[in-house]
Structure 1
Amino acid sequence: MASKTTKSRHLSSLVNSDVIFVKLHAPWEVLGRYAEQMNVRMPFRRKIYYLPRRYKFMSRIDKQISRFRRWLPKKPMRLDKETLPDLEENDCYTAPFSQQRIHHFIIHNKDTFFNNATRSRIVHHILQRIKYEEGKNKIGLNRLLTNGSYEAAFPLHEGSYRSKNSIKTHGAVNHRHLLYECWASWGVWYKYQPLDLVRRYFGEKIGLYFAWLGWYTGMLFPAAFIGLFVFLYGVTTLDHCQVSKEVCQATDIIMCPVCDKYCPFMRLSDSCVYAKVTHLFDNGATVFFAVFMAVWATVFLEFWKRRRAVIAYDWDLIDWEEEEEEIRPQFEAKYSKKERMNPISGKPEPYQAFTDKCSRLIVSASGIFFMICVVIAAVFGIVIYRVVTVSTFAAFKWALIRNNSQVATTGTAVCINFCIIMLLNVLYEKVALLLTNLEQPRTESEWENSFTLKMFLFQFVNLNSSTFYIAFFLGRFTGHPGAYLRLINRWRLEECHPSGCLIDLCMQMGIIMVLKQTWNNFMELGYPLIQNWWTRRKVRQEHGTERKINFPQWEKDYNLQPMNAYGLFDEYLEMILQFGFTTIFVAAFPLAPLLALLNNIIEIRLDAYKFVTQWRRPLASRAKDIGIWYGILEGIGILSVITNAFVIAITSDFIPRLVYAYKYGPCAGQGEAGQKCMVGYVNASLSVFRISDFENRSEPESDGSEFSGTPLKYCRYRDYRDPPHSLAPYGYTLQFWHVLAARLAFIIVFEHLVFCIKHLISYLIPDLPKDLRDRMRREKYLIQEMMYEAELERLQKERKERKKNGKAHHNEWP
């Protein structure tokens, strides 16, 4: 602990004379006493493994695989077990530590019987409950940190993470060095994580995060492969796509301007490139991929529950229950005058009235609603920017920008939107902190859950609101030429590109995903590196030397960056938001899982490097699962089914093409839907407008004479409306209503089908693997037998000793 007090036995700092370090150590007697109170499970007998018959079959497969291993990289995806320590905890049965039955436990050395993480947890348990002054509330280390008596409290790293000698020849210097070499080093990016070692060094809570991150990354491999296959399918079928062919050959089709006055008429063939790019993401395999990703999300969550159960069994978390948490000091100070009896402990404790709690929740909910309105206002500002600048870019001097005004508008809008997202994230964190403290949660876990929900809601809405606008609102409510809908009766709403709105959605997702992941990786590693470098520079300047100074371990750790005040919140939030991007709009951007996979491969090593080298060692804490994040993942999985159904039905042209092929194309009534059935689709999907019907403020400056030498009389636009010379000019055609009905039917069928598959998968996949259930039952039986045999053996020894002592006393009788 770092303190500015001088009233304790201390170790002085070599750099800052006003900083005092108090180094705490717990002897064996204290560790044993509190380990018994905390029900710390320790090894007491080697496990006897029972392998079912199917494991023998798997061993045969391993033998076959080993024949081909000479063509693979050395030890691919495997751990170098010869460099790892003997993690005998996983090879032993464990039981709650008891000093009365200490002879049952495997104790080779009392100094190493409790590992460092367990020792730190015991010491922290003591410090959280010890009274430092006379008084009701003068208890616990957290209060000393809150009132500024201590600057920091942290367990020490085991030593340096580097060594002059090779780990393969001289072994690891300590566990930190071992973690750096076999986990945090970039050279082992393709290997599995040593989760048992991570758990022993950092605790179960951090170990579970990396286990979940590794599982998520591993599950991204099939999703990324299928997404890449969908993209490559679009590439290979591009030359055979009838729609893109017709767009590229439509030199005689003149499209109406996409903005007022400055936007010129354009040939449909000018959007040939965008039509081809759209086909890469919007092709026949898109629907299959959307269904696959919805099922994938369910399989990922269901199999994670099974994986978590295995980890909980290996780490002795099955029967572990969290201790009753202490009341937060802020809650205790606020409601110290109102008390009631705790039903568990039987002691009086502060109490928050129901009316006070409801009023605070209402105020907090109002704050959340206000911040969501701020997000909507920001999106509205982006919409205004888009409708204003499209005309500006259309009148630009550079021909490259002038001819691609819509793409330039979308690209710049996405970049500005990203900057707004990052700025609002800073504001949201402060608002979420204020609202959570206003609610006055009773315990730290309640505070953490409340803060997590607010931050996730804020950041999710902030990150995805503009994407939802592009996917479901852009170009949907613009009206038609001659009767455009306008914003504030002034600005004409933005239209989709002649090749469709999907290209805008792809650009939005691709740019936001790449920029956000790049920024997050820089902030996660770059910021601590810069901070630690600056600290070392200041130390060298204070000592007037450029040479490295050999500091004691406690001062080295003090100069590192503390772990985030919210624990693993930022790490989880980043991955959960990425999971949302990977699943919610994946029908519009099949490469999202591939980008997520590449990012996560880097993310695992970045986080490992940060924990091992750049951060102080966090307190080892226990946890059975990932907490509230699992429920959020389930909610995202449900939302992804709905959004992908709407993206396919509304944003993409899949349904209009299907209706044309079966109802209006050359194969109508024949039950076919090949490329030959799409002949004439582009012409059928465009309506005719008479240029003389333009409003004065919408009439373009050009008369279109540059195309045919004479002023144009008609232009085309994307919609299903009657021509101007019909009985009902510009009214909806029958094809429009057929397409609308097909879209609604597709949404209903798609959602019900996918939800049925998801529920069926959830039902068929048990949360606990059968072999694990059998192992748990067998272990429980063997433990009872061993405990009985050990107790019987102890009683027999005592009886023999009593008999021996009795004979000795009998022989000594005069």
Structure 2
Amino acid sequence: MTNMVILFTGAELLVNQLLFPAQDDQKSNPNVFVVGSTLQRLLNGAEDVGLFKEFQDGTMRGFTYANRESFKDFNGDGEGFLSDAECQYIIKHGLDTLRAKNEQHVPGYPKLKLYPGKSVVRRLQSKGVLIQYFPLHNKEDLKRLSFSWYKKFKLSFQPLDDIRHYFGEGLALYFGFLEYFTFALVPMALIGIPYYLFDWEDYDKYVLFAVFNLVWSTVFLEVWKRCSATLAYGWGTLSRKKAFEEPRAGFHGALGFNPVTGREEPVYPSSKRQLRIYLVSVPFVLLCLYLSFYVMMVYFDMEFWAINTYHENPNIATSILLFVPSIIYAVVIEIMNLLYRCAAEFLTDWGEPEILLFNFVNCFASLFYIAFVMQNMVLLRQSLATLLITSQILNQVMEAFLPYWLQRRRNKKVHKRMRRLMGDKELPLLGQVQLETEMNTYLGTFDDYLEQFLLFGYVSLFSCVYPLAAVLVVLNNITEVYSDAFKMCHVFKRPFSEPAANIGVWQLAFETMSIIAVVTNCALIGLSPQVKAYFPESDTQLILIVVAIEHVLLAFKFILAFVIPDVPKHIQVKLAKLDFDSLEALKKRVSTHLHMLWKYSVLNKTKHILKP
């Protein structure tokens, strides 16, 4: 494995091999390397990856090693200047940018070729030579973060800066959004409780709440963009240019020229990609949607049977039976979402849009059918309440309690194995590596954002007929903060830091949902008996007026999005000042360069004149 060390040191990184006690089973003796870096290399790497840090004047500027003394908090040799997340991001960048210059094979693996321009680490990972690599938890920092984050119940904001220092901006932005979403739901929850209590028997008086719902869903997203920009600017990611992505691990194909990076990389012909989409992805999605609709119709058959049974013999048992079909359907929805996710990942690594579409249809199709085909607001309220409560209980069990229980069992097995191997020897780092190797791998924030997206849909689309929906989501998100924090600290391996300036495509997904919410709530208002009473003889006139109001509200929504700046004014000023300073610095460099050329030209001419 010496050659592996040479590969790593090619990135000027420090590598130390951990030696396990000898065992008869060679598979139980893995080659484990701890990769680190010198402070000098980290500071140079900070410039290479384009980190933004706070300057002495309070603005965020791209870090350069030459001007390091001009940055705030840079003291002495720079110890503590970079956060843990930034350090491990720089080290990972160094590993990911290791590339084979010439076509050769991996030492010790003559059949495993290294293609020119191909990432060495990703190649080793895709072929199973490199089983896994991950950043180790810092026990002291993790202990402090855990105490301030979730170990004590408090009605206060999360330590987002500490989360960002330890896990990086991508994860910190998710928890920032989760916190913001929870607080934004409080007004709707406070209004929803008395509205629900006073209108318990009257399911049709939901017009005012629907109007409030429309305004809330629009303002909610516009204000979040400003909050997101404020966080991203303070973390130095708002103006940072996104690095070009590497070809994903396991990607195979003929070598081609990337016109952007100027490198040779494996390419996949667009014709094959289109065939894969139309012959595999599209039929698969259509088949899953058909199964989803089929399950929905089975649910309605069960629902009608339960209602008829109750009407024939109303008692406590049959009244409880009314909720059984919805509970079973909610469980089936969660199972289908999970199976679809696994199938989509098996077929393609880029299945997020299809997963999002399937989850939306699977979760909301029955509610749309009840609301606009059956027009049964009593059943809509019951179904929404059952779906919300059941899905939240299942999510908490699947995301927190079950992984924690499994992790505890793994930890006990690892402790026993380490005691059997090492006896009385104290090898804390080796034991930590073994423990964290057995932990689950965090697959990113997609599932976490997806859960919040679906909850936002339940609230914005149909909470006017069930005002307690916001209350349930607030309670869910409060427990979600603690359960997600716990699993990030003690259930999952520490994920690699990912710089982020916003929540990415999820902003578009939430905005799309808010547009659907406008149409849905307007349609629900049109179905209200109070509104229908004003148009007893003309349904056409009612439809035209509802459509006109819907267009006005959509226009208002887009005007509001245009009027409210995505970036606060004081941050816009700082960004403009940074652009101005950069332009002035460029002009100064160009002027100095031209002056030196002119001086050199004049000097040469003078020498020529004075030459005898």
TM over 0.5, yes or no? yes
Alignment of 1:236-635 (within 5 A): 277-279=200-202, 281-283=203-205, 286-331=206-251, 333=252, 335-336=253-254, 339=256, 341-363=257-279, 364-392=281-309, 399-401=315-317, 404=319, 408-409=321-322, 411-437=323-349, 447=350, 451-474=351-374, 501-542=376-417, 543=419, 552-553=428-429, 555-556=431-432, 558-560=434-436, 562=439, 564=441, 566-635=443-512
What SS does structure 2 have at the residue aligned with 1:343?
Answer: coil
Deviation at 1:655, TM superposition (A): 3.1
Q: CA RMSD in A?
A: 3.3
Code of the aligned partner of 2:94: I
Code of the aligned partner of 1:155: P
Corresponding residue for residue 560 of structure 2: 761
What SS does structure 1 have at the residue aligned with 2:395?
Answer: helix
Code of the aligned partner of 2:226: R
Mean Cα displacement is larger for which, 767-776 or 22-31? 767-776
Contact 2:122 2:250 in 1 (8 A): no
What SS does structure 2 have at the residue aligned with 1:349?
Answer: strand
Contact 1:394 1:401 in 2 (8 A): no
Contact 1:289 1:587 in 2 (8 A): yes
Deviation at 1:12, TM superposition (A): 3.2
Alignment CA distance shift 1:395-1:183 (3 Å): same
- 1:124 equivalent in alignment to 2:92: yes
Task: Write the deviation string for residues 114-171 of structure 1: whole angstroms up to 9, x where unpaired.
Answer: 3221211111111112247373166332332332223321111111xxxxxxxxxxxx
Deviation at 1:568, TM superposition (A): 0.9
Contact 1:563 1:616 in 2 (8 A): yes
Code of the aligned partner of 1:653: P
Q: Highest Rg: 1 or 2?
A: 1
Corresponding residue for residue 598 of structure 2: none
Residue identity over aligned pairs, in percent, reads: 27
Of the three residues 34, 49, 53, the one matched with 1:23 is 34
What SS does structure 2 have at the residue aligned with 1:148?
Answer: coil
Contact 2:461 2:517 in 1 (8 A): yes
Deviation at 1:30, TM superposition (A): 2.3
Corresponding residue for residue 645 of structure 1: 522
Contact 2:18 2:430 in 1 (8 A): no
Corresponding residue for residue 163 of structure 2: 198
In structure 2, distance between residues paired with 1:215 and 1:602: 15
What SS does structure 2 have at the residue aligned with 1:423?
Answer: helix
Corresponding residue for residue 142 of structure 2: 176
Deviation at 1:621, TM superposition (A): 1.4
What SS does structure 1 have at the residue aligned with 2:496?
Answer: coil
Deviation at 1:777, TM superposition (A): 3.8
Task: Write the deviation string for residues 375-432 of structure 1: whole angstroms up to 9, x where unpaired.
Answer: 1111121223334454455556x74456x5xx734x1210121121122122211232
In structure 1, distance between residues paired with 2:426 and 2:458: 46
Corresponding residue for residue 114 of structure 1: 82
Task: Write the deviation string for residues 82-126 of structure 1: whole angstroms up to 9, x where unpaired.
Answer: xxxxxxxxxxx4433333334434233444233221211111111
In structure 1, distance between residues paired with 2:530 and 2:586: 66
Code of the aligned partner of 2:448: E
Corresponding residue for residue 747 of structure 1: 546
Unaligned segments of structure 1, at least 5 residues:
48-92, 160-173, 235-276, 438-446, 477-500, 664-734, 790-814
Code of the aligned partner of 1:147: K
Alignment CA distance shift 1:15-1:532 (3 Å): farther
In structure 2, distance between residues paired with 1:322 and 1:288: 44
Contact 1:120 1:155 in 2 (8 A): yes
- 1:208 equivalent in alignment to 2:173: yes
In structure 1, distance between residues paired with 2:129 and 2:167: 26
Deviation at 1:315, TM superposition (A): 1.2
Alignment CA distance shift 1:555-1:144 (3 Å): farther
Alignment CA distance shift 1:784-1:383 (3 Å): closer
Code of the aligned partner of 2:86: T
Contact 1:45 1:94 in 2 (8 A): no
Alignment CA distance shift 1:632-1:176 (3 Å): same
Code of the aligned partner of 2:221: L
Corresponding residue for residue 136 of structure 1: 115
Of the three residues 108, 123, 128, the one matched with 1:148 is 128
In structure 2, distance between residues paired with 1:744 and 1:226: 29
Code of the aligned partner of 1:464: F
Ranked by relative contact order (alpha carbons within 8 Å, sequence separation 6 or more), the top structure is 2
Q: When you count helix as a share of all residues, which structure comes out higher?
A: 2
Corresponding residue for residue 33 of structure 1: 44
In structure 1, distance between residues paired with 2:360 and 2:248: 28
Mean Cα displacement is larger for which, 505-514 or 16-25? 16-25
Deviation at 1:534, TM superposition (A): 0.2
TM-score scaled to structure 1, two decimals?
0.63
Task: Write the deviation string for residues 551-603 of structure 1: whole angstroms up to 9, x where unpaired.
Answer: 62463354246565531111111111111011011221111111111211221
Contact 2:54 2:60 in 1 (8 A): yes
What SS does structure 2 have at the residue aligned with 1:151?
Answer: coil
In structure 2, distance between residues paired with 1:642 and 1:605: 35
Code of the aligned partner of 2:444: G
Deviation at 1:746, TM superposition (A): 5.0
In structure 2, distance between residues paired with 1:763 and 1:97: 33
What SS does structure 2 have at the residue aligned with 1:622?
Answer: coil
- 1:219 equivalent in alignment to 2:184: yes
Deviation at 1:18, TM superposition (A): 2.1
- 1:228 equivalent in alignment to 2:193: yes
Corresponding residue for residue 481 of structure 1: none
Aligned residues: 556
In structure 2, distance between residues paired with 1:229 and 1:14: 66
Contact 2:16 2:33 in 1 (8 A): yes
What SS does structure 1 have at the residue aligned with 2:555?
Answer: helix
Code of the aligned partner of 2:124: L
Task: Write the deviation string for residues 217-236 of structure 1: whole angstroms up to 9, x where unpaired.
Answer: 121112222222422443xx
What SS does structure 2 have at the residue aligned with 1:536?
Answer: helix
Corresponding residue for residue 692 of structure 1: none
What SS does structure 2 have at the residue aligned with 1:95?
Answer: strand
Corresponding residue for residue 774 of structure 1: 573
In structure 1, distance between residues paired with 2:16 and 2:403: 32
Contact 2:168 2:497 in 1 (8 A): yes
Alignment CA distance shift 1:426-1:550 (3 Å): farther
Code of the aligned partner of 1:213: L
Alignment CA distance shift 1:767-1:399 (3 Å): closer
Task: Write the deviation string for residues 41-86 of structure 1: whole angstroms up to 9, x where unpaired.
Answer: 3445253xxxxxxxxxxxxxxxxxxxxxxxxxxxxxxxxxxxxxxx
In structure 1, distance between residues paired with 2:168 and 2:121: 20
